[in-house]
Amino acid sequence: MTDAAVGRAGRPRTVEAAFALSLAAIALQAVVWVLGTFVVSPTGLEELRGELGRDGATRQLAVPAGLLAALGALWLLFCFRMRAGDGRARIALTVVGLFSGLFFLNALSKDGFRWTADGGIGDLLLTDLLPDLLAAGAIVMMFLPASNAYFSAARREGR
């Protein structure tokens, strides 16, 4: 690893980039959920209010909000562990990122791969794809040669 490829804390810039992309993916995932639930019409809240009433809709939305918060916290924990050199966290982030991409492709394949006038693919908005693209970028960065050397050195040091 060259000095130019290493940041201030001794981590390669590729690991720092993977960390930044992962943080952006976490934040964007939350933003996409909030937009789909409360802002973009027809919102999930409007649909649930029609079926369950106001109180039922609120209770029904509490479950995915709590799940999103818990998964986001776990994802964040793995990001910090990966940044510290934990190769198991790197593998966990890779597996989760790949599964997320597969779920997106599955949803896309059910609706079709046609572009729509509102900036989407089928019924899915392009914003739904952005967190997966950021996660994919983080996965690539975590497995570049400088990152591999960093994780190998961390494993030898017992981190």
Q: Is residue 93 classed exposed, middle or buried when 0-12, 13-18 and 19+ CB atoms within 10 A define those classes? A: buried
* pLDDT above 80 (res 53): no
Amino acid, res. 67: L
Whole-model pTM above 0.85? no
b/e per residue 59-78 (b: at least 16 CB within 10 A) = ebbeeeeeebeeebeebeeb
Mind listing the pLDDT tens digit for each residue in 91-103?
A: 999 999 898 888 7
Residues 6+ positions from 94 with CB-CB distance below 8 Å: 139, 142, 143
Q: How much is the pLDDT for 73?
A: 95
CA 15 to chain CA mean position, Å:
16
